Structure 1
Amino acid sequence: MQFDYDLFVIGGGSGGVRAARVAAGDAGAKVALAEEDRYGGTCVIRGCVPKKLMVFASEFSGMAADAEAYGWDIQLGAFSWDAFKDKLNAELDRLEGVYRRLLAGSGVQTFDARAKVVDAHTVELSTGERKTAKHILLAMGGRPVKVDVPGAELAITSNDIFHLSEMPKNILILGGGYIACEFAGILNGLGVDVTQYYRGAQILRGFDDEARGLVAEEMIQRGVKLHLGTNVESMERTSDGRIRVVATNGDETVFDQVMFATGRAPNTDDMGLEQAGVKLGRGGQVIVDDYSQTAVPSIYAVGDVTDRVNLTPVAIREGMAFVETVFKGNPTKPDHELIPTAIFTQPEMGTVGMSEEEAREKGPIEVYATSFKPMQSAFAGRTDRVLMKLVVCADTRRILGCHIVAPGAGEMIQLAGIAVKMGATKEDFDRTVAVHPTMSEEIVTMKTPVRRA
């Protein structure tokens, strides 16, 4: 059978764009890509990039206070949301243009349209056109979802936060995952009165208990009103346009804005997938094998739509592995083991490998940890604390987990992640000379375990 394309990619985010570019540019395949919204996907347009720029913006208020403590005569003016937002939008426009040029430069034909799957080799565009391809790659990503409570339609999500016409004076953030906690820190730093509700016993479920506990303490110290074991019962619009929230603990509070950061769902609705034979999980995620292949041999899926490890660099790796497998004759499984991760809370958290709790279930461990006031903030009179922690296998001496809570933890964990991925032992860390004076030197100077399990 003659196909229009060797590959048709649905979704113009990081995973889909990388797969399309490499298949066309390196493997010489005839490739098309359809994107119904903006090129760059969640990360570039409504996720990590704009969020990290907002993190930078939010940190300057604290920097100014520190500067005074160090002898600088600095008077901090007011933050202008309008000025920041204009520059942010210009930067996102620039990055989207980069993505479009990269695709065009690789010879990928693009369609600014929604695409649905018709069968194993056919997609239908919202323009009414149908295109055929030997292979179809699903890379539609995910979207934020709201909890089902009365008045939920009044809340915004992380998608909307970058488009607010003005900064609210106060906001309720619902959720305890990394998105909720990151935006709590961002908005608090920008001068917004932030309240955060989370139904669980502690934020950042799934991460190391000691590390997430310190993040929670520091968030509270910095002014976030964190209420654990608390959920929203109902919301309604007040006569002055604000939102009255009734909490499960009986509290009634009025907020300018409410933001739900209560999870994400794969973008598989109304895509024709199950009719075409693609199997979906209970959460709507595309079920794939180790090579990202679906139940339909000609259809593959990468990125958040598979709900494996929902991180941009992972989607890119999955896209590359797909091209190696399908177009280069080199069957390649994407590696999901020991992925370093940064959470841009304030303070930041960096982690790679197992939490202490997870490692305990696998066998005997030793835990090396230290928490202290870093030199820079101690001199400025702040009470901030940081954490450096290693979880070590008692038998093999391998580092099973490394957890850092500190300014710049994301930068540190990238480098620590190399050592952990290589199988470094505690003795390898001990043999490494410390870089002094730094916070990270503690990672190689901890000699005595604080506990064994």
Structure 2
Amino acid sequence: MTDNDYDQFVIGGGSGGVRASRIAASHGARVAVAEEFRIGGTCVIRGCVPKKLLVYGSHFAEELHDASHYGWSVTGMTFDWNVLRDTVLRDVDRLEAAYTVTLDNNKVDHFKERAEVAGPNTVTLASGRDITAKYILIATGGWPVMPHFEGNEHCITSNEVFHLPSLPKRVVVQGAGYIAMEFAGIFNALGCHVIVVNRSETLLRGYDEALRDRLLQITMARGIEYKFNCPIKRVEKLADDSLMVTVGDQDPFPADVVLVATGRRPKTDGLGLESAGIALGKNGEVPVDDFSKTSCDSIYAVGDVTDRVQLTPIAIREGHAVADTLFGGNPRSTAYDCIPSAVFSQPPLASVGLTEGQARNAHGNIKVFTSDFRPMKNVFASRQERGLYKLVVDAGTDRILGIHMIGPDAPEILQAAAIAVQAKLTKADFDATVALHPSMAEELVLMR
């Protein structure tokens, strides 16, 4: 492998690319990474991490409101968007520095510029330098989709939302996936008037129907307005910089910010993969086999750019597996059959395994156990919001096929519960487990 400048050259310094680089280097490979924006990728720089911090910040509105019911007197409450925004951005800076240190500590070279594929074993940097490598790994991630409609240049995506100069009073969110629902919850909690518009009548497609219905009921009660079957038709910018939004055949209505969250597509534009004989898929993704190898034997791809599963932990596992396969003498692939996921909406929901509908289609005879309860923390707050936990069980084997939850701290609880689904435990195993009382998590072992 000494005939090339590097053993592995990674295009993209996100979670998958950094993990693949670190592990490959630990196996003794000579590794380099090129990142045109910032080390850390979407999740760390402008995705799940800063978004979760905004969720935490927005929760204080609810906690401070509830404080009086627990005997606390809180007066003179004010909120400063600039403080929250800047604190979040400073933490992004900290994390980027930490990721960069990780590369340095593992002796991974990194180039702060764009790189494109120039052949099966060659990349070209934006500065014009050609670099050769035995293997090239594509880990460029995804990019927000902006639909075509009149005035879409006045809208923002999840990339820009973290940099808003002030807190808008009126927010329109187009889309009803996890990104849309999370930001709708954040802005609603911070006191904005939020309208969610969607081209269909379904939110959070792919999640269990009972959880979706419960989230819709709760968020409507919290003041979020929905307009289903109403994609944005036009956005007009007025003289005072406010916006007029037209959806479907309805009359225009005002907004200060229009956030478009209608999905993400693989970031492959201009990547030069055709120079290595690689044809992109119908969504612009890089097609790969079970071991993340493309149609070119020397080029691999991991993470959102492959459009398999758009989740950071999956990109990390895929990157790790590629490094072990190529340099660790341990060829392995990544399993996708039991992936826990969460939506940090307000309240949050979390899920692992098959939904009730999927289980009926796949297994036929199933049992469904539910617990519909009022979380203890909501009792003093006079909120009527109820949590809902659901176990989907194979009636023939008693094996847990899926766990679905909505309520406070649902994602934190589900992470441990997901182990049970991965381990193929049974409903009897849950029944035999002593409840931890008083807790919401105990509902998982008390369903009969």
Post-superposition Cα deviations, 1:24-46, rounded to whole Å, max 9, x if no partner, equal 1x201000100000110000000
Q: Which residue of 1 aligns with 2:210?
A: 210
Task: Tell me, yes or no, if structure 1 residue 310 matches structure 2 residue 306.
Answer: no
SS in 2 for 1:98: helix
SS in 2 for 1:43: helix
Q: Which residue of 2 aligns with 1:437?
A: 438
Distance in 2 separating the partners of 1:173 and 1:247: 12
Task: Tell me, yes or no, if structure 1 residue 250 matches structure 2 residue 250.
Answer: yes
Q: Which residue of 1 aligns with 2:295?
A: 295
SS in 2 for 1:140: coil
CA shift, 1:275, in A, is: 3.0
Q: Which residue of 1 aligns with 2:398?
A: 397
Identity between Structure 1 and Structure 2 (%): 49
| Matched-pair contact (CA < 8 Å) for 2:375–2:408 | no
| Matched-pair contact (CA < 8 Å) for 1:294–1:300 | yes
Post-superposition Cα deviations, 1:85-138, rounded to whole Å, max 9, x if no partner, equal 221121111110111111011000110010000110000000000000000000
Task: Tell me, yes or no, if structure 1 residue 412 matches structure 2 residue 413.
Answer: yes
Distance in 2 separating the partners of 1:51 and 1:33: 26
CA shift, 1:145, in A, is: 1.1
- The alignment of Structure 1 onto Structure 2 pairs a total of residues equal to 446
Post-superposition Cα deviations, 1:62-87, rounded to whole Å, max 9, x if no partner, equal 10121111121122512111111221
Task: Tell me, yes or no, if structure 1 residue 45 matches structure 2 residue 45.
Answer: yes
Distance in 1 separating the partners of 2:227 and 2:442: 35
**Where do 5+ consecutive residues of structure 2 fail to align?**
none
| Matched-pair contact (CA < 8 Å) for 2:144–2:264 | yes
Instruction: Note closer, same or farther for the CA distance 1:261–1:22 as it changes in structure 2 (3 Å cut).
Output: same
CA shift, 1:225, in A, is: 1.0
What is the one-letter code of the residue matched to 1:252? Answer: P
| Matched-pair contact (CA < 8 Å) for 2:232–2:245 | yes
Q: Which residue of 2 aligns with 1:275?
A: 275
Distance in 2 separating the partners of 1:434 and 1:348: 22
CA shift, 1:239, in A, is: 2.1
Q: Which residue of 2 aligns with 1:194?
A: 194
| Matched-pair contact (CA < 8 Å) for 1:378–1:384 | no
Post-superposition Cα deviations, 1:362-412, rounded to whole Å, max 9, x if no partner, equal 121111112121111022211111111001111111111100101101101
Distance in 2 separating the partners of 1:345 and 1:41: 22
Distance in 2 separating the partners of 1:45 and 1:226: 30
| Matched-pair contact (CA < 8 Å) for 1:202–1:213 | no
| Matched-pair contact (CA < 8 Å) for 1:369–1:388 | yes
Distance in 2 separating the partners of 1:216 and 1:104: 46
Q: Which residue of 2 aligns with 1:5?
A: 6
Matches within 5 A, 1:332-347: 332-347=332-347
Task: Tell me, yes or no, if structure 1 residue 68 matches structure 2 residue 71.
Answer: no
Task: Tell me, yes or no, if structure 1 residue 351 matches structure 2 residue 351.
Answer: yes
Distance in 2 separating the partners of 1:444 and 1:227: 38
Q: Which residue of 2 aligns with 1:385?
A: 386
Q: Which residue of 2 aligns with 1:176?
A: 176
Q: Which residue of 2 aligns with 1:451?
A: none
**Where do 5+ consecutive residues of structure 1 fail to align?**
448-453
Which contiguous aligned blocks of 4+ residues in structure 1 show a shift greater than 6 angstroms? none
CA shift, 1:279, in A, is: 2.7
Q: Which residue of 1 aligns with 2:285?
A: 285
| Matched-pair contact (CA < 8 Å) for 2:23–2:324 | no
Distance in 1 separating the partners of 2:386 and 2:229: 25
Distance in 1 separating the partners of 2:82 and 2:11: 34
Q: CA RMSD in A?
A: 1.0
Instruction: Note closer, same or farther for the CA distance 1:56–1:237 as it changes in structure 2 (3 Å cut).
Output: same
